[in-house]
Every structure is written in structure tokens, then in C-alpha cells.
Amino acid sequence: MKINKLNSIILLGLIAIIGILVAQLLWTREAFTLEQKKLSQKTHIALLEVAKKLYEGTNHELPAQNPVQKIANDYYIVNVENDFEPDILEFYLKTEFKKMNITTDFEYAMYNCQSDEMVYGNYISLSKQEKGKQSVYFPKHKNLVYYFAVRFPNETSYLFSSMRFWFVLSIVLILILLIYVYSIFTLLQQKKYSELQRDFINNMTHEFKTPLSSILIASKYLIEQNPIKEDKKLHTYTDIIIKQSHKLNHHIEKILNTSKSDYKTLELKKESILIVPVLEETIENIALKYPEANIKISAKSNDYKIETDVFHFTNLIYNLLDNAVKYCNEKPEITIKITEENQVLKLAFIDNGIGISIKNISLIFDKFYRIQNEKSNEVNGFGLGLYYVKEICNLQNWKIKAEKNEIKGVTITISIPYKK
């Protein structure tokens, strides 16, 4: 795919999020290392205090060399060079660990020089969870006679629990990255489908317009011939061909305009127009197609003027009336009610059609949406008519809404900012 502005933005965004994620993981690892050092320092201080207390009341002095040795991350030995009682050792360990705020579980053992083995003490649970005695291995240490060992079997989980915030933040960033990647993938897929759709519509409408132009040229030439003019029936049929060709051309233009509006804003050539004459002209055109339809205008005045594009406004009215007639099982009765309220001009199209369910009424302005009902198989269309109406309203900052009537039918209301 050719790299364009969109792709560049996507790539830069992806690089930025990955960079933030990598930085967060590095910070988390560094924080874990710092927590590990912090626990090691607190443990050293606590064990050193325990060793000092074990020397108190004896004739021996604390060795000049540091008696505390760290054998592994979770394993420490303390050389006291003095005999001591296990109960006193356990009391001092609990006391000093509590002072240093060390709350992880630990187990201790003492070296018995007579049996030349490590004598296991109790498993001390500082996390307030009852646990049985653990089978933690305490290796012997050479060249030491009076010493004890302490092991933290849950050191890793303890450190992780103290870094809960960092892990939550990392997980959130990973989720953001996954959502971003998924969103970008979906966006690119939609862009691809949208381009395929646009190309298809452009090609299809082009293929339609070429033979349609030939039909119009031939029909217009044909209707000017004397034999056609003299034969009333032939003249009528030829005129029908011309009118229907113009109508088909109108639908093709509508599809093209709808397709273009997805990629660039339609250009509206606004001018001041009287609403009622436009409505009356559109009603006359609808009557040619649906002579049985009874369409009337209810307005206090015929002098309502608005600024709009005549072509698109006429198409908008035609689409709304055409829909109202097509989706009706009886004689179509449509009222176009014009009212003015708080500097807003409202055009309400009230019909007696089959109506729309509450759950579907909010979807009728969606592109290509067609409601499955008793008339959907009879009525041909692309689901673009009301979408086109909505687009024209949006371009002019008009509001449009559809409401289900109490008895039957639907009312579609267009609200237009209005100043006299």
C-alpha cells in the first residue's frame, strides 16, 4: 500500500505507543530491582539487630566482621559464634522484622554442631494466613559453628504484590496498544471496502449513463418526427420513455452525489427560495408517478423563504414523499405541515403508511439500511434515499427526526433555523 498521510500518522502512533510500553516495562523492571534491594537492606538491618540482641548478656562480643551473609535472594545466614535458644531467636526475628515492616512469611533453621545438620525451626506466617510447615531446604555452611539461617519462600510474590500499581499500569498500556492495533486494522479494512464500493458505484453509474444518454438522444429525435406526432399513442409512449429516462438519470445522479459526499462535502449553491411553490411543483411530479396519492400542504402563509440549494432541496422533498407513498397499503394520505416556532421553521411530513417499529426508527437514515417488512420485497431501492436526505440536512445545519404516529404512519420533521 502506498504510504500516505494516514499511513504515516498510523505508523507514528504505533511507534509512540510501543515506545511508551517498552519504557513502562523497563521502569517496572527497574522498580522490581529497587524493591528487591530495599527488602535486602531491611533484612540485613533486622538480622544484624537480632545478632546484637543474641550477644547481649553474654561474655562474647559481636564480631568485627558483618555476621550477616546473603547466600541467595531469599536466603540469609547469621554467624553468632555463641549458643542461643530457639524460642528467643524466634521472638527476636518477629520483633525486628515487624520494626522493619517486613511482612512476608519466613522460616528459620539453626545449625546443630553435634549432629552436623540444620535443625528446622517454625514457619512464621506474617501475612495472617495459616500455613503448615514448609519443606524448605537449608544447606549447611562450611567453617561456621554457631549460626542460624532465614529463608523467605514467598519473596517473589511479596515483591510483586508491593508493585501492584506498576503491573496494573503495564496491563492497561498493553490493552491500549491492542485496542489501537485492532482499531487501525478495522479502519484500514473499512477504508479498503469503502474504496472498492466507491469504484464499483462509479463504474456502475458510468455504465448506466452511457446507454441512457443514447436512449435520451434517440427518444428526443424520435418524438420530433411527424409520424410520431400524428400518432397520439406513439407520441405518448415516446414521451414516457423520455420522462422515465430523465427519472433514471436523476436516480443515477443521486447515487453519484451520495458516493461523492462520503469523500468530500457536496457544494451547495444556495439562494433564497419560497418553500410552498417548490413543494407544489414536487407534489405535481409525484402525482405523475402516483396519481392515487392525496398530498396536501398545511401552512399559515405562502411567503416562507429559506436559503438553500434548489436542486438538492427538491430532491429532499421528492425522496420523503416518494417513501411515504411507497410504504403505504391503502390510499396514500400525506400532509406537509409548515409551522414556525422560536425562530425555527418546521416541515412535518405526516403519512398514513405502514409505520416503523420503535427499535428501527432511529436507523432509517443509515446508509444502505432497508427495514425488513411487508413492503420491503415490493419496493425497489438501494437504501440511499433517506441517507441522502439526512446528508443534505446536515450540510445546512438542519435537524431531522422521525417519529411513529399514534395510530398509523410516520412523521418526519425537518427543523430549519428561520428569521423573517
Q: According to the model, what pLDDT value does residue 338 have?
A: 92
Is pLDDT of 58 > 90?
no
Is pLDDT of 1 > 50?
no
- Going from N- to C-terminal start, the domains of the chain cover 5-162, 183-261, 270-417
Q: Secondary structure of the chain in the HEC alphabet? A: CCCCHHHHHHHHHHHHHHHHHHHHHHHHHHHHHHHHHHHHHHHHHHHHHHHHHHHCCCCCCCCCCCCEEEEECCEEEEECCCCCCHHHHHHHHHHHHHHCCCCCCEEEEEEECCCCEEEEEEEECCCCCCCCCCCCCCCCCCCCCCEEEEECCCHHHHHHHHCHHHHHHHHHHHHHHHHHHHHHHHHHHHHHHHHHHHHHHHHHHHHHHHHHHHHHHHHHHHHCCHHHHHCHHHHHHHHHHHHHHHHHHHHHHHHHHHHHHCCCCCCCCEEEEEHHHHHHHHHHHHHHHCCCCEEEEEECCCCCEEEEEHHHHHHHHHHHHHHHHHCCCCCCEEEEEEEEECCEEEEEEECCCCCCCHHHHCCCCCCCCCCCCCCCCCCCCCCCHHHHHHHHHHHCCCEEEEEECCCCCEEEEEEEECCC
In terms of Cβ atoms closer than 10 Å to its own Cβ (0-12, 13-18, 19+), residue 275 is: buried
Cβ-proximal residues to 185 (8 Å cutoff; 6+ apart), any chain:
none
Q: Which residue has the higher pLDDT, 107 or 167?
A: 107
Residues 124 and 91: beta-carbon distance below 8 Å: no
Q: Which of 255-264, 303-312, 402-411 comes out lowest in average pLDDT? A: 255-264
149-165 pLDDT per residue, tens = 888 888 777 777 777 77
Is pLDDT of 349 > 90?
yes
Percent of the chain having pLDDT more than 70?
84
Q: Which residue has the higher pLDDT, 121 or 36?
A: 36
3-24 pLDDT per residue, tens = 467 677 777 877 887 888 788 7
Of 6-10, 43-47, 260-264, highest mean pLDDT: 43-47
What average pLDDT score do residues 84-111 get?
Answer: 83
Q: According to the model, what pLDDT value does residue 363 have?
A: 80
How many CB atoms sit inside 10 A of residue 6's CB? 12
| Among the listed residues 97, 98, 53, the one whose alpha carbon sits nearest the alpha carbon of residue 76 | 97
Question: CA-to-CA distance for 39 and 10, rounded, in angstroms?
Answer: 43
How high does pLDDT run on average in the chain?
79
What average pLDDT score do residues 383-394 get?
Answer: 83
Residues 385 and 251: beta-carbon distance below 8 Å: no
Confidence band, pLDDT 50/70/90 cuts, at residue 370: low
Residues 174 and 18: beta-carbon distance below 8 Å: no
Residues 404 and 355: beta-carbon distance below 8 Å: yes
Confidence band, pLDDT 50/70/90 cuts, at residue 2: very low
169-201 pLDDT per residue, tens = 778 878 887 887 788 778 778 777 777 777 777
Q: According to the model, what pLDDT value does residue 348 have?
A: 92
CATH number belonging to domain 270-417: 3.30.565.10
What average pLDDT score do residues 32-37 get?
Answer: 84
Q: According to the model, what pLDDT value does residue 413 have?
A: 92
What average pLDDT score do residues 349-359 get?
Answer: 84
| Among the listed residues 134, 105, 110, the one whose alpha carbon sits nearest the alpha carbon of residue 120 | 110
In the block, residue with C-alpha cell 409548515:
338
Of 18-32, 169-183, 196-210, 281-295, highest mean pLDDT: 281-295
Q: Indicate the length of the chain as a whole number.
A: 420
